[in-house]
């Protein structure tokens, strides 16, 4: 009998607590649907940051909305980064570290993000989703096993002609709605929260201009991950190598005995590379690293091939460099007249190298997801995030899920539950930081 009373009390208590949480002034779905209509596609190989001016349209809107939500110190830097600070509501905010949240405003250069027309499959009942404006674009159950977890949810897609922009307008909408919920519910205790929205994440570069110290966060999270529950505290370590072949050009009419065509050595290198390096993007998955020649510029005088080196293990990266150098040595023997140079530069380091010293960042995120009814899963990212750069520069920054799927393509989607549960997780997370730091 006592037990039954206790259970009854718990149910009443949690139900009344739940009832006390007032909804945001605008739903996360409402915000998301507004943001995806703004074209913020970034562009490769630009000399300016942001790479495209149109990203500032969203930056200006987000800055205004932050101010309307009472966020302090809102500013847009000369590089289009939006910063702000949500003051804590504790008697002594200095006891809780300032936690930062970051989402990026741009969308991938790979697929157009202009004139996004949203398609909402209400109360999804299973089966493939055929996109309305291009019937060849199909989100199939086969290739999207997470669909089976979304029965009864409202699924949000584009119409098949553009990407959706869930990457990363979901993150923008979720962070903004978290702020809205906190403002409407002063009973939810939290420390200071630093907010940032960044341009040019998809093309790299924007994050180099991030003012870490001025922003004031001790730890941060990028809200830029995929399906519900995915938390990433590990990314590639990455280098980019350039192999340059120096030949000798002259007028082809009088070239006998003089011309040394660098392109033959470059072509031979690629062929030998393919034989010597089995780990390539098209042959690897999970925790396997790869080497990937991704661009080449060729002419008689000079040819250059650019190669991505990617590995979760820093020693693995060293071994990959050795593999490239070995192929170069073989080609150099076959083409003694062509001088071959190798150079490489570090892109970013696996954030695990730093985050292993701050396990609470991941632990609290796991707890926050669980409280939102989401099953957390730690998943290494076969790529880099803005957090890889920030972590390497001294601001530990793992990555949290947004509910999104199929980034950078026309089959991109998210769902109402995906957006809402991700937002709930953020609200829980700031609460947990306050609880644990007291
Ligand atoms: Zn992203």
Active site residue 201: yes
Q: Ligand 1 centre and the CA of 7: distance in Å?
A: 43
* 387-404 per-residue burial string, b: 16 or more CB within 10 A, e: under 16: bbbbbbeebbbbbbbbbb
Q: Distance (Å, rounded) from C-alpha 88 to C-alpha 434?
A: 9
**Residue with the two structure tokens 């960042």:** 361
**pLDDT at residue number 163:** 97
**pLDDT at residue number 423:** 98
Residue of 65, 106, 168, 226 marked catalytic: 106
Active site residue 341: no
Structure letter (DSSP) for residue 90: S
Q: Ligand 1 centre and the CA of 104: distance in Å?
A: 7
Q: Ligand 1 centre and the CA of 341: distance in Å?
A: 34
**pLDDT at residue number 320:** 97
Q: Ligand 1 centre and the CA of 168: distance in Å?
A: 5
Tokens of 125: 């009942």
Tally the C-alpha atoms within 13 A of residue 142's C-alpha that lie toward its C-beta. 2
Indicate the length of the chain as a whole number.
438
The SS3 of residue 253 is: helix
107 close to 37: Cβ distance less than 8 angstroms: no
Q: Ligand 1 centre and the CA of 113: distance in Å?
A: 14
Residue of 168, 201, 234, 424 marked catalytic: 201
Nearest CA among 45, 48, 83 for reference residue 63: 83
β-strand pairing of 230-231 with 377-378: parallel
Measured between alpha carbons, how far is residue 1 from residues 7, 8, 249, 257, 331 in Å? Answer: 10, 11, 94, 102, 83
Structure letter (DSSP) for residue 171: H
Q: Ligand 1 centre and the CA of 35: distance in Å?
A: 15
Measured between alpha carbons, how far is residue 95 from residues 6, 17, 90, 437 in Å? Answer: 34, 25, 9, 6
Q: Ligand 1 centre and the CA of 9: distance in Å?
A: 43
Q: Distance (Å, rounded) from C-alpha 50 to C-alpha 2?
A: 63
CA angle 218, 224, 228 (to 5 degrees): 110
Q: What are phi and psi of 121, to 5 degrees?
A: -90, 100
What is the residue-level pLDDT of the chain in tens, covering all 438 positions?
A: 434 444 444 444 444 445 578 999 999 999 999 999 999 999 988 999 999 999 999 999 999 999 999 999 999 999 999 999 999 999 999 999 999 999 999 999 999 999 999 999 999 999 999 999 999 999 999 999 999 999 999 999 999 999 999 999 999 999 999 999 999 999 999 999 999 999 999 998 789 899 999 999 999 999 999 999 999 999 999 999 999 999 999 999 999 999 999 999 999 999 999 999 999 999 999 999 999 999 999 999 999 999 999 999 989 999 999 999 999 999 999 999 999 999 999 888 899 989 999 999 999 999 999 999 999 999 998 988 889 889 989 999 999 999 999 999 999 999 999 999 999 999 999 999 999 997
Q: Ligand 1 centre and the CA of 284: distance in Å?
A: 22
Q: Ligand 1 centre and the CA of 66: distance in Å?
A: 21
Q: Distance (Å, rounded) from C-alpha 253 to C-alpha 237?
A: 48
Question: How many angstroms from the chain centroid is the CA of residue 45?
Answer: 19
β-strand pairing of 155-157 with 230-231: unpaired
The 3-state DSSP composition of the chain as helix, strand, coil percent (nearest 5) reads 40, 20, 40
Tally the C-alpha atoms within 13 A of residue 84's C-alpha that lie toward its C-beta. 23
Q: What are phi and psi of 328, to 5 degrees?
A: -60, -45
Measured between alpha carbons, how far is residue 5 from residues 8, 10, 18, 39, 341 in Å? Answer: 5, 9, 20, 56, 78
Q: Distance (Å, rounded) from C-alpha 182 to C-alpha 431?
A: 10
Q: Ligand 1 centre and the CA of 201: distance in Å?
A: 7
Q: Ligand 1 centre and the CA of 202: distance in Å?
A: 7
**pLDDT at residue number 7:** 42
Q: Distance (Å, rounded) from C-alpha 28 to C-alpha 239?
A: 37
DSSP string, 307-347: EEEEESSHHHHHHHHHHHHHHHHHHHHH-TTSEEEEEEEEE
Q: What is the pTM of this model?
A: 0.84
**pLDDT at residue number 205:** 79
| CA-CA-CA-CA torsion sign (176, 178, 181, 186) | negative
Kindly report the number of other CB atoms within 10 A of residue 339's CB atom. Answer: 16
């Amino acid at each position: 009998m006592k037990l039954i009373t206790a259970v009854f009390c718990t149910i009443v208590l949690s139900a009344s607590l739940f009832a006390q949480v007032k909804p945001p002034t605008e739903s996360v779905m409402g915000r998301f649907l507004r943001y995806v209509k703004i074209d913020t596609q970034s562009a490769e190989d630009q000399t300016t940051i942001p790479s495209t001016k149109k990203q500032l349209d969203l930056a200006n809107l987000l800055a205004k909305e932050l101010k309307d939500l009472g966020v302090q110190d809102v500013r847009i830097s000369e590089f289009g980064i939006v910063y702000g600070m949500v003051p804590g509501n504790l008697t002594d905010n200095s006891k809780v570290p300032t936690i930062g949240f970051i989402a990026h405003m741009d969308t991938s250069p790979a697929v157009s993000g202009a004139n996004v027309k949203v398609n909402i499959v209400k109360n999804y009942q299973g089966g493939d989703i055929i996109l309305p404006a291009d019937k060849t674009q199909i989100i199939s159950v086969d290739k999207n096993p997470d669909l089976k977890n979304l029965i009864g949810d409202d699924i949000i897609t584009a119409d098949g002609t553009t990407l959706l922009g869930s990457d990363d307008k979901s993150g923008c909408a979720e962070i903004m709605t978290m702020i809205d919920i906190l403002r409407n519910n002063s009973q939810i205790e939290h420390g200071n929260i630093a907010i940032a929205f960044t341009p040019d994440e998809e093309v790299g570069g924007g994050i180099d201009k991030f003012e870490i110290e001025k922003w004031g966060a001790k730890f941060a999270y990028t809200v830029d991950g995929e399906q519900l529950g995915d938390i990433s505290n590990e990314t590639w370590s990455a280098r980019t190598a350039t192999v340059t072949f120096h030949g000798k050009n002259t007028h082809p009419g009088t070239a006998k005995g003089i011309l040394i065509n660098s392109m033959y050595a470059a072509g031979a290198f690629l062929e030998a590379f393919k034989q010597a390096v089995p780990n390539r993007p098209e042959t690897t998955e999970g925790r396997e690293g790869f080497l990937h020649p991704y661009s080449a510029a060729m002419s008689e005088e000079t040819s250059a091939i650019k190669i991505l080196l990617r590995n979760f293990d820093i020693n693995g990266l060293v071994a990959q460099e050795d593999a490239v150098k070995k192929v170069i040595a073989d080609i150099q023997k076959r083409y003694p007249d062509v001088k071959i140079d190798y150079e490489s530069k570090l892109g970013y380091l696996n954030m695990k190298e730093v985050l292993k010293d701050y396990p609470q960042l991941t632990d609290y995120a796991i707890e926050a997801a669980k409280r939102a009814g989401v099953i957390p899963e730690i998943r290494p990212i076969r790529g880099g995030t803005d957090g890889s750069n920030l972590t390497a520069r001294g601001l530990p920054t793992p990555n949290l899920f947004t509910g999104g799927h199929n980034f950078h393509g026309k089959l991109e989607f998210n769902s109402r539950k995906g957006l809402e549960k991700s937002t709930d997780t953020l609200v829980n997370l700031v609460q947990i930081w306050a609880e644990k730091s007291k």
